[in-house]
Amino acid sequence: MDCVSYNYDMVIKEGGTYDRWHRWSYGDPPVPVDLVGYTGVLQGRKKLTDELPLIELPSVLTPWVADTNSGIYILDDGVDASLKGRYRVYITNEITTGLCAMHKDIDGVYTLFLYNSVGEAVVCQSGKMTIKASAVQ
């Protein structure tokens, strides 16, 4: 199976929470993809060639609750049609606090993969990851 590529640029406020829903759809008219059994992982780096990620998010298999676990949440439960094809990128303020050394913005990159139930990477979301410096340290 080919990996579907999707570009989306993220802007994260240092010391703040980042919360963004995405929907994977295909066709004309667009039809949401069934994501039941999918998992995801995101890694963000200052530079693409950096060995260690600045931000790393795993799949979270428990239901989303505000101000708890950072991660990739697959919202599609196979029951609620409004959630079909939806996934959430959630980064708490504990992860973003203190990322911008010397109060300078970070212009980096990230890649997010969604994996189907047999472990194949089927979606590759990527783009610029800008972390805006703040007074919160």
DSSP string, 80-134: -GGGTTEEEEEE-HHHHTT-SGGG--EEEEEEEEEE-TTS-EEEEEEEEEEEE--
User: Are the beta carbons of 107 and 50 closer than 8 angstroms?
Assistant: no
Which residues have a Cβ under 8 Å from the Cβ of 24 and sit 6 or more positions away? 4, 6, 32, 33, 35, 85, 87, 114, 123
What are the structural domains of the chain?
4-132 (2.60.40.10)
pLDDT for 137 beyond 90: no
The pLDDT tens digits for 32-87 are 999 999 999 999 999 989 999 999 999 999 888 888 899 999 999 889 999 999 99
The pLDDT tens digits for 85-100 are 999 999 999 999 999 9
